[in-house]
Every structure is written in structure tokens, then in C-alpha cells.
A and B are shown apart, each in its own frame.
Chain A
């Protein structure tokens, strides 16, 4: 315990961020959304709403904020991403495929017999750091991973995506204590705060509000962000660590089913699969959105 608390916070990240334009990122987001729908439609299974709510966050993480790629995936200095809300695996798979971790066509086997592309993240898929799926596991593992960086004086950061519905899991709060105790400012938890879970609004199922005050009282530095505003997400991650010596929490306000109007904020799309007609409608809505992306914004 003692000496570890005295470790210096890691402020100077040697990794220089890439500069993808807003337009390039926006095009990627739409492409990812189309792929999420495509593979869920073909698999006839998947967590549609949550994948659409977190995809912009993953886009900015993998294409802007994080130093991770197929080339450096074995490096001990790579940034780590651990998806605690494992059920939104389609979002992770389409982004990893886009980064070149595996051929996108592999996703045609999603949820098929014997496929490695199952309904939750698994390390059998290149690019996945940890097997997740049971909720409340990502934050403790991420804290341990961030702690290892401190012990070895490495500069990598650890990003972990939590669902707002998994916050009642007690293990999150155990890890929140540990992360603050060991001053893990190289840890960034992001809550995909789409405010819905399978039974209903999170505030009605088990009210965890105010999330910010809870984490702040645990010793975290907290930021709110529009989880679909790519620019805001970029700026937020560029500002890490928010406070030296404190673990970082980004509360990303999102819309479940974002991008497909008939899915937005509708609970049945938690793991609903679109019909052929619905699928086509969704694709044309996204194609229209692609056309209307401004040149610079």
C-alpha cells in the first residue's frame, strides 16, 4: 500500500494523437452503424440499441484517442480498451475490423455455430483485451491493468466502457475505491449513459443518480460529454488526465438506438433484430445522414 500511493501521476503521454478530421470521423460513425445493423440482421441476434449508443465513443477512442493498432497490439506500451458492457460487442467488432485487426467478412459468422465472433468480447478475436460479458467486471480488471502501468512506470492508459445499467453491481464501487486509492489517473472509465436498460429507464430500475457526485465523492475526476458529439469526445479524451492523481470518469450522454429514428429511446431495441423492411429503412436513413455531413464542422 504505502509506497504505491506516492508514485507520480503519469501526465506526459508520449503517444501523439492522430488527427482525423471531424468529417472523416463522422463518415466512420455512419459506416460503423450500418455494419452493426448488417451483422446483427444477418446473425438474427445482437444488442442493437446499446451498440448504436456507444459507437461514437468507440470511434473516437480507436481512431483518435488510443495508441492501439494491429501492429502494436503485443506491445506492453499499447493503450488498453476493456469493454465492461460486453453485450454491445457488435460495436467493438465493427471498429476492430475497421482498424484491420481481422477481415470484416469474418463478421458474417457472428453468433454462428463454432464462430469466435460470439455475443460478447472474447480474446479469441484479435484486438480484444479481456473476455467480458458478466457485468461489473470491467472496472476491477481495468484498475489492475492501470496499476500494472504505475508499477512498471509505463505510460499507457486504460479505457473501459461501462453501461449505466451495470452501475448497481457492487464490484464497480469496490474498484472505484481502489482506483482512487492508488491514484490511477491513467485509467479512464466511460459510462455509456443511454438511460435505458432491459426493464426500463435506469432511474426507475435502480436510481444511480447523481452519478457524477458519487464518483467525485469516491475521489474521481468527472466530465460530462455528449456521447454523440465527436468533437466534444475528442476534446474530452485529449484532456486526460483531467486532474493529476485522480482516475477519470467520462459520463457520455447517449441515446439508445442512436442514428435509426424508430429505434431511438425504444426499449425493445435493447436486443431487437430488425425485419428486412426495417433494416432497409435504417440503411437508407443512415445513407441520407451520410450525404448531409457538412464538409467541415
Chain B
């Protein structure tokens, strides 16, 4: 990874840690905040929550289908329920419960996929979630969110607690520097955040790939190429007005995601642009359809070009 300034390093916490502290802040003032876990309070950094609010945490054991079903029942009675489990299990094993008990029945569960994408890099494909955007995009009535940094994570959790409809939020466990020095912008589901301005190429990224996208933009600037960077934290509903505006003024578009290149942010953008006759050189950076290489999250990112150099090279290639 490229250089991270000292200030950024000082501020950097894992989104997971911010999730945990934000939930504690919320629970302090609201007894209806309930966390449901499947032996995941350790991996979800929820042990302190459990100690402080023992009556607001429900443990169901390693049983993800039941986790989501129980969460749906609690939510139907007015509880603000955060169902927390590794994204890989939650959105695959319990997909039918998310589809029926949460989305179809409109029980406002906050489905929280922890250690998402390739956060569990070396543990292999059983523990990767590279399908979650794709499957959840195809299910009606659930918002799909991947916050990029601590600011977005805090806002997403606060907003989810207030939302009367199903939300899926996924994040990783690596320390994520703040994307902006000052976070005074509004955070809303379905509204992308412009992190950097530029008219040559637009890099639309989500979750933990926004930071390398920003690094790539800095690199491109050294070559006098102005890259816009968007944190498209909400994959569904997609901010199509921002997408349209940026696509119209740029010469090329790159999307970046910690997800299969099939069915995620990139294909959502491509589909919208093509159906609205906005044709620009376009490339999706993500995990290709193959047995995913293993190693740390960063190793995997480097392998597939989800880093400063990879994104820079793709952008340059499109602008040639």
C-alpha cells in the first residue's frame, strides 16, 4: 500500500471497532437496540457490548438460519435488531431467511456481515463473501451498504438503527484511514460520496476498496490526470444521478469492489449506463471468476490489482 500520513494512521480504526462502539452508544439510550449473535461476539468485537448490556444481546449459537429468523421475530415486535455474523455465512447459509423472513416480510432487521469480502483472506473461500452484493441486489426490499471508512461506518449504523426497513451492512476488520480530513457531508443511504473531484476518469469504489482508489487518484494526478473518486457505499439502491453526472463529464469509468466481478457494483453501474445510452470506456476491477488466491486481504488485493498500481494502470489503459 502507498504511504499513509501520520494523521491518517492515528485516526485509523477498523470499521468493525467503530461498529461496536457506535452500537454501544446507541444501546446506552435505547433499550430496544438488540444484538443477535451466532457465537460471533468475539469476531464482531461485541464482548464489551455484551458486558455492558447483557439483556440486549441474544446468543443463538452457531446457527445462522436461526439467527436471522429469531432476529426477524424480534424486529416484528419493535426491536431494533442487529443480526451479526461473518458475511460469508450470513448471506449464504441464511440467504432464504434474509429473503423471506427479513426482506419479503419487511421485518426491519439490520443484517450485519462482518469480516466481509476477503477479510479472512488466508482462511480460504469458505470464509470469503464475494457473492453478497450479487445475491442481495436480486432480492427486493433490502438496502445493501459497504461503508468505506470509520465515518461512513458510524453513520451507516446510526442510520440503520433508525430505518424501518431491512438493511445489509458489510465491512472488514482492517484499520481504515479516513477518506476525508473533514467529514461535514451528509451521509444518506443511496447517495454516493464524492471523495475527489476530477474530469478525466471517474473511479467508483465501495467498501474497503475506496482507499486504494483514492491512492490511485493521487498517483494519476502526478501524471496530470484528474480522477474523480466516489465512495459508492450504497450498492442498492444505486445513486444513479451521481453516476450519470460523473459518467457524462468523464472520459472513462473504473469501478472497484471487494466482490466477484459478477453481479456487484461494477455490473450495477454498467447495466444502468448501457440502458441509458451512456457509453464510455468502462472496466470492472474485482475478484475474477476463479478459485480465489489466498493470503492476507492485502495479498489478495495485490494479486488482483485492487491497489494503487492496479487501479492506476486500468485507468491509464482506458484513457489511451
Contacts and interface: CB of A to CB of B under 8 A. Distances in A.
A208 interface: no
Interface in B52-70: 54-55, 57-61, 63, 65-66, 68-70
A100 interface: no
Interface stretch (B74-82, B195-203, B245-253, B308-316): B74-82
B9 interface: no
B239 to A, nearest CB: 29
Interface in A109-140: 123, 129-134, 136-137, 139-140
Interface centre among B54, B66, B77, B107 (most CB of A within 10 A): B66
| Residue with the highest number of chain B CB atoms closer than 10 Å, among A76, A151, A182 | A151
Interface stretch (A23-31, A142-150, A211-219, A261-269): A142-150
Contacts of B97: 137, 140, 171
Interface residues of B, number: 32
B34 interface: yes
B71 interface: yes
A174 interface: yes
Contact of B73 (A4, A134, A141, A171): A141
A175 B61 CA distance: 10
Nearest to B77: A148
Interface stretch (B98-106, B167-175, B184-192): B98-106
A76 B72 contact: no
Contacts of A291: none
Q: How large is the interface on A (under 10, 10 to 19, 20 to 34, 35 or more residues)?
A: 20 to 34
A145 B54 contact: no
B96 interface: yes
A170 interface: yes
B60 A174 contact: yes
Contacts of B63: 171, 174, 177-178
B71 A144 contact: yes
Contacts of A152: 77
Interface in B100-147: 100-101, 104-107
A175 B69 contact: yes
A2 interface: yes
Contacts, number: 108
A145 B105 contact: no
Interface string B29-61: 000001000000000000000100011011111
Contacts of B60: 174, 178
Nearest to A169: B65
Interface in A4-22: 4
B107 to A, nearest CB: 8
A140 B70 contact: yes
Contact of A134 (B59, B68, B96): B96
B58 A147 contact: yes
A105 interface: no
A144 B69 contact: yes
Given A76-B78, A123-B106, A145-B76, A133 B69 contact: no
Nearest to B106: A123
Nearest to A130: B105
A76 B101 CA distance: 19
A171 B69 contact: yes
A143 B100 contact: no
Given A151-B55, A175-B70, A177-B61, A132 B100 contact: yes
B76 A141 contact: yes
A140 B106 contact: no
Contacts of A141: 69-70, 72-73, 76, 101
A131 B105 contact: yes
A210 to B, nearest CB: 23
Contacts of A136: 65
A219 B65 CA distance: 20
Contacts of A131: 100, 104-105
A144 B72 contact: yes
Contacts of B107: 130
Interface string A149-164: 1011000000000000
B105 A143 contact: no
A3 interface: yes
Given A4-B55, A134-B96, A137-B100, A144 B106 contact: no
Interface of A: 1-4, 76, 123, 129-134, 136-137, 139-149, 151-152, 170-171, 174-175, 177-178, 182
Given A140-B69, A171-B69, A175-B69, 14 more contacts: A3-B54, A3-B55, A76-B78, A129-B76, A130-B76, A131-B104, A140-B66, A143-B73, A144-B71, A146-B73, A151-B55, A170-B65, A174-B60, A177-B66
The 4 lowest CB-CB distance pairs between A and B, nearest first, are: A144-B73, A140-B69, A148-B77, A174-B66
Interface of B: 34, 50, 54-55, 57-61, 63, 65-66, 68-79, 96-97, 100-101, 104-107
